Each structure stands twice: as C-alpha cells, then as structure tokens.
Amino acid sequence: MRRAPLAASGSTPSLLARLLREPLLHFLVLGLALFVLADWRARPASGPDAARRIELSADDLRQLSGLWRSQWNRDPGPEELARLVDDQVREEVAFREALAAGLDRQDILVRRRLVERMNSLWASAGEAGEPTEAALRDWYAARAGQFAPPREATFATLYFSDRLRGGKAKEEAILARDALAGKSDGQADVQGLGDVTELPPRAEAMSPDEAAGLYGPELAEALGRLPAGSWQGPVAVVGGYALVFIEARVPGEPLPFEAVREQALDAWRRERREESRQRAYAAARARYAVALPDTAPGAP
C-alpha cells in the first residue's frame, strides 16, 4: 500500500495557525463576546441581590437634567449632572435603608402620608367618565340640601402665620392637620400646633358674611363646603392659613342647579372617587387576616 507524503500530516496545524492569525476570525470572536456581555447585562436582576440593584435609566437622566434646566435655565454640565446622579442614588439608598429599618412604621406622620397616598391611588383606580347633564341634574336634585349655603356656622380654627413660619405656614398646617387626624372634638388639646393671632379661635353661630369680614372670603366659602366633625384645611386667611373644625351648621335655602353646577360636578367626582377607594380597599382588605384581642370592639 502506498503511503501519503509526510508533509500532508502537518497540514492541519498549519491551517489552524493561519486561522488564528486571521483578523476576520478575531473580529467575529470579539463580536460574539460583546453580544454575550450585552445580553448578560440586559437581563433583569434576580435572586437575593435583586433588591439591592439601583438602576437609573436614560429617562431618569433626562428628568434630572430637565429639573436642573427649569431652575437654572441651562443644561447641567458633566460635573453637575454627576452630582445630580450621585444625589439621586444617595436618596434611593437612604430611602431603602429607612424602609429596611422600619422607619416608615415608626414615624406616624410618614405612615399617614403613605396611607394618604395609597388612598389617592385607590380613589383614582376606577375613575369613570363625566356624567351627562341630565344625570348630573338628577344627582343634584337628590342632594340639593347639601349645596345650600349655611345661614350660620359654629366652628373652631387653628391659625398658622406666614410671617412667623418663614412662608411655610401652609406646609406646617398640613402636618398639624395630619397630626389631628381622627380627633372628633374641636376643643381637643391643640397646644403648640398653631400661632397666636387676634382672630378668635372659635366662632359661635357666625354667618358667612361675618366670617368673610373677619377671616376672609376663602374661609367663609369653606364653611359651606368642608365636612363637619374633623379638622379640615388648610384654608387661606388673613396673613396665613387656618385649619377649620366645623361643629355645627344651620343650612339656608338650596340654590338652583345653574348657580352651583361646578360645585355639584366636583362633589359628583369626589363621590365617585370615594366609591372607587372603598371598592379597592375592600379588595385589598380581603387579602389580610386580622387578629384582635377579645376586648376589642368588633372582635369575634
């Protein structure tokens, strides 16, 4: 049998050597490596480290730049944008650490703000379209007494001075309102929550015209709009803002629909949002088992 020449046996290594030196092969291998790396980075985080991943998107950067632009009327420079990004990451880290430490459960004001936000989301979850004119008229006719301006009202106020509080009277009035949530007594201890003022802290059987002359037109209008039996507001008054606790109202004569159409539409929307909130809460409540002590009201 005739054997092949020995030179043929070394052809395979020579071919492999030439391929390894081929630039096109290097390009293909590098491209494959970059594709694999990009695919790995694009995959969503999972497992125990997923909760520790903080990711800012291009939209986040555009939003940060937009906020800077609205304040300074120019785009941020590279160093300024880097500081904005660092501040955003720092805020996210602090927020997550605060949640992990349970600070949201320990701070009653934070809890109430979160509850208020969740109630708002529930209320907007099932918003429907606007009513027809005929439906709104029928709705108003069944509730016309609710839109009668009060002939007189008995109410208490807590005053917050813009001058004394450096222009933050409204914000601090909101905090005080949250702290007073659940108190159904307008004469409850409110020491330290308001500022001293010449305005009377309580008015007995005052007409809207009298209230407008003493406190201002916004508060007079609010006497017919705000619910009674809890601290409401803040409402703009002379030199600041006030929380209002309406104890009693004596209603006047109902107004014609045309005079209060916008108020009726706003009330219709509030009623629909409250119905949506109640439905969403009921669905969420059904996912929880609540254990109460035997002495608690409503305990089985």
Band (pLDDT 50/70/90 cuts) for residue 33 is very low
Strand, coil or helix: 138:
helix
Q: Is 16 inside any structural domain?
A: no
26 pLDDT exceeds 80? no
Q: Domain count for the chain, please give it.
A: 2
Q: Work out the average pLDDT over 73-92.
A: 89
Q: Using alpha carbons only, what angle is made at residue 223 by residues 221 and 224, rounded to the nearest 5 degrees?
A: 75
Structure tokens at 187: 């004469």
Separation in Å, CA 192 to CA 4, 7, 109, 173, 240: 106, 102, 17, 12, 17
Separation of alpha carbons 202 and 156, rounded Å: 4
Closest CA relative to residue 247, chosen from 221, 265, 225, 229: 229
Q: Is 27 inside any structural domain?
A: no
Band (pLDDT 50/70/90 cuts) for residue 186 is low
Q: Work out the average pLDDT over 169-177.
A: 91
Domain boundary, last residue among 231, 251, 271: 251
Closest CA relative to residue 212, chosen from 152, 140, 299, 254: 152
What range does the domain containing 212 cover?
Answer: 150-251
pTM of the model: 0.50
More confident residue, 38 or 53: 53
Closest CA relative to residue 57, chosen from 36, 42, 39, 75: 42
239 and 158 inside one domain: yes
Q: Could you report the per-residue pLDDT of 241-261, keeping only the tens digit for each?
A: 999 999 999 888 888 999 989
Domain boundary, last residue among 251, 266, 283: 251
Separation of alpha carbons 296 and 141, rounded Å: 41
Structure tokens at 23: 């630039």
Give the mean pLDDT of the chain.
Answer: 80
Q: Are 124 and 230 in contact (CB under 8 A)?
A: no
- For position 239, which CATH number holds? 3.10.50
- Can you give the pLDDT at residue 8? 45
164 and 243 inside one domain: yes
42 pLDDT exceeds 60? no
Structure tokens at 282: 């009921």
